[in-house]
Chain A
Amino acid sequence: MKEFWSVFKHGISIENPLTVLMIGLCATLAVSTQVEGSLAMSVAVIFVLVMSNVLISAFRKFIPVEVRIPIFIVIIASFVTIVDLFLKAFSPDIYAVLGIWIPLIVVNCIILGRAEAFAYHNTVLLSIADGLGMGLGYTLVIVGMAFIREFFGTGQVKVMGATVLSMPSGYQGPNILLLFPGAFIVFGFIIALMRWLNDRSAARKEA
């Protein structure tokens, strides 16, 4: 159980897929203009990541090394198709926002990367922890980024049509935050911040 938690926590901080491993960036930068869309994207990623981790770790003894990559991709593609069809059927609004990023989860390096680096060598339980931890680490960064961009860009944060938080009226946000350069720049500063925090806690441990 202790191992479960340590694997789980790794995904959130030390091995955070976005800010440390720097994989799976494409969707993050594109989707993070809205908090709501980011949450939906995170749920989709967590689902695919945990399910494919479970399946791959359960069958790891039967998957031959030579053809493991195609097998991983087929497993991942099946779960992505489930999410794709599910969203299209039950929540067309969110599907319209996420659009092409759902099919592109197949080539999201986080998922294939975890299958290859973790699930293929570990038990089912630990792979679940890894999937959840990585997924949560992903969620924190993407939602945080979406919050910054939506709040300061438009002056309010909306979830499910209700305004959760808003700036005083008359606030005019810098439009650049919502455009694509904003994504790169905000993300650059987020990595710098995460790195600064990690360095500081490491320095404190040594002292």
Chain B
Amino acid sequence: MAAVGHYALLFIGAALINNILLTRFIALCSFFGISNNMHTAIGMSAAVVFVMMMASTTTWIVWKVLLVPLGVGEFLYIPAFILIIAALVQFVEMYLRKSSPVLYRAMGIYLPLITTNCAVLAAATEVAKPGFFKMNMAYGYSLGEGLVYTLGVAVGYGFALIAFTALRERLDIAPVPKALKGNPMSFITAGLLSLAYVGLAGWFGL
């Protein structure tokens, strides 16, 4: 029972309390870039969940099996992890194009963009090298914990992105002063949305 609670807290902490978009400011480019349209937002969220899980698994293994035993982790982790993610994304894209055209059509165009989506690098680094996010609970993640954590981050990303897209679609038809129209108004809206997350800060000591 305790184990279930532990995983649930890990998930909630990653998804809501330390939401990667609205409280950590990570991956904002995609947050503002693709939130014009609900269809795109859903596609991107799905692609992020998928790639993030794979990336975190790989970086966790590479960190434990390769970088730490060789003693090069501290100064090679940035190039190593970003290369892993870039290569992984490329493989996933090729594989999907061959084997699952439906899935490829749904998320193919988002895959290249994900390479530079900081959320993936951030989550993958946190899982392999805990403490990266300076969260109050610094774990030495086991692979299982790492995966639950990553799923939390990815779901939190998707949730915030889709909620924000819904708000933005409404804003497009709202009367807004000329200088504020478009992006400035989106930022202010995001600020109000993230205000909701301030209320969650510190829950369960996370």
Contact = CB atoms under 8 A, between A and B. Distances in A.
A188 B117 CA distance: 22
Nearest to A24: B29
Contacts, number: 122
A74 B115 CA distance: 13
Contacts of B125: 100, 103
19 contacts: A22-B183, A25-B28, A77-B79, A77-B83, A81-B79, A85-B74, A100-B133, A103-B121, A176-B195, A180-B197, A181-B192, A185-B192, A188-B184, A188-B185, A188-B190, A191-B187, A192-B179, A192-B184, A195-B179
B187 A188 contact: yes
A80 B86 contact: no
Interface string B49-93: 000000000000000000000000011111100110011000000
Contact of B134 (A99, A107, A199): A99
A196 B179 contact: yes
A129 interface: no
A30 B121 contact: no
Nearest to A200: B179
Q: Interface extent on B, as a size class?
A: 35 or more
Contacts of A104: 26, 118, 121-122
Contact of A107 (B82, B186, B194): B82
Interface in A51-106: 69-70, 73-74, 77-78, 80-81, 84-85, 99-100, 103-104, 106
Contacts of B183: 22, 188, 191
A103 to B, nearest CB: 5
Contact of A184 (B86, B121, B179, B190): B190
Contacts of A181: 191-192, 194-195, 198
Interface residues of A, number: 44
Q: Considering the complex of A and B, which 5 residue pairs feature the smallest CB-CB distances, nearest first?
A: A188-B187, A184-B191, A185-B191, A192-B184, A77-B79
A182 interface: yes
Interface string A148-178: 0000000000000000000000000000100
Interface SS, B side: helix
A112 B28 contact: no
Given A109-B116, A191-B183, 7 more contacts: A22-B32, A25-B29, A81-B76, A106-B82, A107-B82, A181-B195, A188-B188
B29 A73 contact: no
Nearest to A188: B187
A29 interface: yes
A180 B78 contact: no
A30 B180 contact: no
B29 A23 contact: yes
B86 A70 contact: yes
A29 B28 contact: yes
Interface stretch (B8-16, B17-25, B142-150): B17-25
Nearest to B116: A107
B25 A188 contact: no
A74 B79 contact: yes
B29 A26 contact: yes
A69 B191 contact: no
B153 interface: no
A183 interface: yes
